[in-house]
Amino acid sequence: MNAVAQATPPAVEMKTMAAVAMALRDAMADDPRVVVMGEDIGAPGGSFRATRGLLDEFGPRRVIDTPISEASIVSAAVGAALSGLRPVVEIMFMDFVTLAMDALVNQAAKARFMFGGQCSVPMVLRTPHGGGLNAGPQHSQCLEVWLAHVPGLKVVCAATPGDAYALLRAAIRDPDPVVFVEHKGLYGAKGLVDRTAVDAIGKARIVRAGRDATVVTYGATVAASLEAARQLAGEGVEVEVIDLRSLQPWDRATVLGSLARTHRAVVVHEAVQAFGVGAEIAATLADEGFDDLDAPVVRVGAPFMPVPFAKSLEQGYNVGAAGIVAALRRTLE
């Protein structure tokens, strides 16, 4: 641990974006192999200013401004990782990951397997997803389930500043490629960050204990799920809320353990409902023999359509507490 981290109090309050920036700075200070790459990440600090100040501190050999070519950026990062560096790539919006799928899916994800475990690709791809900011259908998508479907990739998504810091540090330390998903709408959210925390990919967290039903969620819908739980608590219903934090691998033990207690499940995510994380969890419950639940598993997600640009339409498209409350009432009937 560097001297700055040792001198910092165990937990300080900051916004999510500041937590991401701090995780990058601390990782670069701790390990000279860590480099950051992306469009306008130097002096401007990237689209959301997560890398501002890193160029002055670490120089252009470790803070690498790239051309506007996602395919080239990720391809270069794969080569750098295979050569011994630990690159952290920033892709401005998750929608643009589509332009880098060959390097990410066909190269980074498969290198360890294809070379018989003789090499690895220790790279991180940071990218923001999600709606709520009227950014339109090409800048608001949640595509994390595409990447969670690919063997060889790990996918994490933080809901709090503390998890943003801890999970990003864990992703950078990981020997394999990790997609680190950030929600644009959470960049301004505040919370406590413990720079001494040691985290592990693949571990969920029960953020609210309950006995009557389980909500499994991640990212921005964690807050909406907690609000739904608070509303139902006024009626004497106690809802357990699980923040997955990691989508691939996901923490089956925590989810299945909760369902064994509550016997009711609602899975919530901002991505479209069809073929999503909720479908995988519902199928896993069937595979594991959870045929004694008190109600069918209910999924809550966005409708199967592009994200609307108009504010009024986007409000109806996004997953909120009201929809989660309605889903929980269905399980409790």
Read off the amino acid at residue 193: V
Please list the alpha-helical segments (H only) found in the chain.
3-7, 16-30, 54-58, 70-82, 101, 111-114, 144-148, 161-173, 221-233, 252-262, 277-287, 311-317, 321-332
Sheet holding 239-243, edge to edge: 205-208, 239-243, 213-217, 265-272, 298-302
Catalytic residue among 129, 139, 183, 269: 139
Please report the beta strands in 39-150, taking only residues with DSSP state E, as ranges in sequence order: 63-65, 86-90, 124-129
**Degrees, nearest 5: CA angle 36-159-185:** 80
Read off the amino acid at residue 308: P
Q: Would residue 139 show up in a list of annotated catalytic residues for this protein?
A: yes
- Could you give the CA distance from residue 126 to residue 23 in angstroms, rounded to a whole number? 12
Q: Would residue 263 show up in a list of annotated catalytic residues for this protein?
A: no
Catalytic residue among 70, 90, 240, 270: 70
Residue 138 Cα distances to 70, 99, 125, 129, 310, angstroms = 15, 12, 19, 11, 13
**Active site (catalytic) residues:** 70, 139
